[in-house]
Structure 1
Amino acid sequence: MTAIRPVLPASLRRSLLTLLVLCLGAPLLAQQSLPPAPFANRQLDDPAQEAVALELMATLRCLECQSQSIHDSDSPMAGDMRHQVRIRVAAGENPESIRAWLMERYGDYVSYEPQMSSTTWPLFAVPLLILLVAGAIFWRRFGKRT
């Protein structure tokens, strides 16, 4: 006895093969083809301004990597943010105003130095509250032994 194998029509095989090629080739289309921003990897001419820019870049988080500063990251997003920091420092802007602009644009998460606000105060208060409660429990349990 011979096994009967279903045979796909040629047009269906071609369609499936085309779909497979398109699915496997789609990531190639997602690659960024734009060149990096001019000051993404080029230092400022003034060493003092470059030092200010580097210090600020070390305190800003890359939004793509999320665990690296924009100074350390190689992502295109970090390059654009480095460019923005450098041109604003070169224009004479204050580093804190640059940080505020980036936080306004990308949210509080972009800064490694969180600011106390109406939405972030629980992040600062809850650990202190937990320490106070733990201290009270510890003192009550072990503090007054007679």
Structure 2
Amino acid sequence: MMRRLLLAVALVLAAAPAFAVNPDEVLADPALETRARAISAELRCMVCQNQSIDDSNAELAKDLRLLVRQRIADGDSDEQVMNYIVSRYGEFVLLKPRFEAKTLLLWSAPVLLIALGGISLVVFARRRAGKPTGTALTEGEEARLNELLKK
């Protein structure tokens, strides 16, 4: 029983994500390190593009993590750090884009596509409902049908 429990714990720990933050990057103050980890989890690795800089082992991601920690150590707020990174690397560096006028289409696209799909289905169903399906029966088929219905 104990072996199974240890095996289960080992499997769970093996499946946990391996964060790329190296020990030499960690800030001495736990509160500042927590802020740095939260910020770096929101920033995209420009090399990997599907990972945060917190999860990436790329050199650029390491440089960005160090930059975030440097800005925090210098006294910048979280918003100032994010604005600084975005000013240098553009909006693409954000894993979750900001809700602004220029990103309105990005944020509204799923709702618009679902609505457009629903409208298309309704229009298609209405057009289809008005048209008969198949072809008209021939005289022989109609006579055979009447014969079968009389039985």
How would you bin the TM-score normalised by the shorter chain? 0.5 to 0.7
The Cα offsets for residues 28-86 of structure 1, whole Å up to 9 and x where unpaired, read as xxxxxxxxxxx994211110110010111111111112122111112211111111100
Deviation at residue 134 of structure 1 after TM alignment: 2.0
Which of 78, 81, 103 is the matching residue for 2:61? 78
The two structures have a TM-score, normalised by structure 1, of 0.62
Q: Which amino acid aligns with 2:113?
A: I
Let me know the Cα RMSD of the aligned residues. 2.4
The Cα offsets for residues 82-137 of structure 1, whole Å up to 9 and x where unpaired, read as 11100111122111221111111101111112013343222122322221122233
The two structures have a TM-score, normalised by structure 2, of 0.61
Question: Highest CA radius of gyration, 1 or 2?
Answer: 2
- Give 2:70's aligned residue: 87
Which of 3, 27, 46 is the matching residue for 1:44? 27
**Residue identity (%):** 34
Structure possessing the higher relative contact order (Cα contacts under 8 Å, 6 or more residues apart)? 1
Which segments of structure 1 move beyond 4 Å, counting only runs of 4 or more? 139-143
- Give 1:61's aligned residue: 44
- Structure 1: 5+ residue stretches without partners: 1-38
**Count of aligned pairs:** 106
Q: Which amino acid aligns with 1:127?
A: P
Query: 1:97 & 1:40 partners in 2: Cα distance?
Result: 25
